[in-house]
Amino acid sequence: MGFFILKHLHHLHIRACRLLMRGGTGIAMFSVVVQCLCLVTLFPRYLLAQDNIGYRIEEENVVFIFQPQLYSHYSARDGVVKQIKNLSITGVAVGCEVNAWSVAEWRMNKVNVYWYELRVPYSIFEKKTQWEFKFFVNNEYWVEPASGMNNIIPIPTAEQNTTKRYNFFASIPQPTVQKYTFRLSGFPDARAVYLAGTFNDWNPRATPMMRKDNEWTVVLPLKPMGYSYKFIVDGSWKLDPANPESVDDGMGHTNSFLIIPSLRGSTQFTLNGYGNAKKVAVEGSFNGWNPERHYFAKQQFQSGSAWVCRLNIHPGYYEYRFLVDGEAINDPLNPVTIRNENGGNNSILLLPSKEGNVEFILKGYNTAKTVALAGTFNDWSSRRHIFFRQGDQWICRIRLKQGSYKYKFVVDGQWILDPANKQIVENEFHTGNNVLTVK
């Protein structure tokens, strides 16, 4: 859902690996070269995950983010849309349904010329989980989102032949921890009923259940993942009769199994079909290849049902695969794979670094498949900070504290200097590193 597959990607694959060292050829350091035609420009919908523009969820806050470089169209209070290049920003506010579209109440803080930010606690939104919002600049113009942005919604208008306008659309996802009620019906004569499972290290006395009416209940806060458990009735261990899902514990016993699906996050995985599957999970380098950490939920859409999993994943390069009732498969919506150590394939996910107070730009390299940023700020890893393609240049934004840093660009596995930065120091390989000072 929301992915586009173009037919000329049918035979693309990932080739492993050249031995490189920082800045030098022929000296050993492993770096993966992703051989995917027009990876960023042609396929941002499924390879670069669908990012929300204008906000992010961070702990117990909604963080509004305004980046002037992303916009070129503005509208005055009369609703007429104008293209304004290089608008000099003197102030930014957030107007939305929650603050009655006030343009004076929620003023944003200027981080730098590329970045304005405002943190608003969840409590301000009360129980409203979805709303529309927009940025207002210079006490004069509403910022108009581009029609290709992900989280936008059209503004209704009765006038014809007018430029279509949009608001941003935001939502607060489900909390990380959910309250789940375990229920055991019957057993009116039981003296004590307990609940034991992976959530309490199978402690048979840690979680007593209370009797109410004709059932025993207990409420636990649980994170999204899979849990094995059993009830203990007067010392006798019992499966949950209301839950048909069970797993073998590997020692000849069977436990009931509960799935709390992962539905919070800006990176969405979708698996169509598999209507008879009992459980679908995703494992990858972003969760330590844990097959029981992140589960899908089966959801209904207009086009039919699909398995969906949403996660918050930091920008970077990742490998992953789906598990359908324990059987590993590649993501059918993502044709880009890499050979793994077991002789099979893993799907590849690239999440570019789009947020930060420092922006790196590499012009040209139109035929490059991947561009990464490596330096002292990320332990010289070429998998942590990935560029995205915009126009005729590659862009990467990261957040850095004050200080001095050494770095290089990695273009399709080749380590190069930043052509726009003449500040260079020698390294142990006599190929030089760029130097950046953040003040």
pLDDT at 175: 56
Which CATH number does the domain 178-259 belong to among 3.40.1390.10, 3.40.50.620, 2.60.40.10, 3.40.50.2020? 2.60.40.10
pLDDT at 60: 65
CA–CA separation, 281 and 292 (whole Å):
7
Q: Are strands 424-425 and 178-185 parallel, antiparallel or unpaired?
A: unpaired
The domain defined by 55-171 folds into Immunoglobulin-like (2.60.40)
The answer to whether 296 touches 282, Cβ cutoff 8 Å, is: yes
The domain defined by 267-351 folds into Immunoglobulin-like (2.60.40)
The answer to whether 322 touches 279, Cβ cutoff 8 Å, is: no
The domain defined by 7-48+353-438 folds into Immunoglobulin-like (2.60.40)
Place of tokens 């949403």: 310
Tokens of 260: 């709390």
pLDDT at 296: 94
The answer to whether 267 touches 351, Cβ cutoff 8 Å, is: yes
Predicted confidence pLDDT, tens digits, the chain (439 residues): 333 233 233 333 333 333 333 344 443 333 333 333 333 333 333 333 345 788 887 656 788 999 888 888 888 877 788 887 778 899 999 998 888 888 888 999 988 888 899 988 877 876 677 788 999 999 989 999 887 777 788 876 654 445 677 888 887 665 567 889 999 999 999 999 999 999 999 999 999 999 988 899 999 999 888 999 999 999 999 999 999 999 888 888 899 999 999 888 888 999 998 988 999 999 998 888 988 889 999 887 766 788 999 988 888 889 999 999 999 999 999 988 888 888 889 999 988 998 888 999 999 999 998 899 999 988 898 888 999 998 899 999 998 888 899 999 999 989 999 999 999 999 988 999 999 998 8
pLDDT at 136: 94
CA–CA separation, 246 and 283 (whole Å):
20
The answer to whether 93 touches 100, Cβ cutoff 8 Å, is: no
Closest alpha carbon to 392 in 416, 372, 368, 415: 368
pLDDT at 98: 86
Go through the chain and tell me how many residues it has. 439
The answer to whether 388 touches 350, Cβ cutoff 8 Å, is: no
pLDDT at 229: 97
Domain(s) of CATH 2.60.40.10: residues in the chain:
7-48+353-438, 55-171, 178-259, 267-351
Give how far Cα 241 sits from Cα of 186, 213, 255, Å: 11, 18, 11
Closest alpha carbon to 309 in 328, 290, 294: 294
Q: How far is CA 119 from the centre of its chain?
A: 19
Sequence-distant (6+) residues with CB within 8 A of 341 are none
The answer to whether 37 touches 369, Cβ cutoff 8 Å, is: yes
Q: Are strands 414-416 and 345-351 parallel, antiparallel or unpaired?
A: unpaired
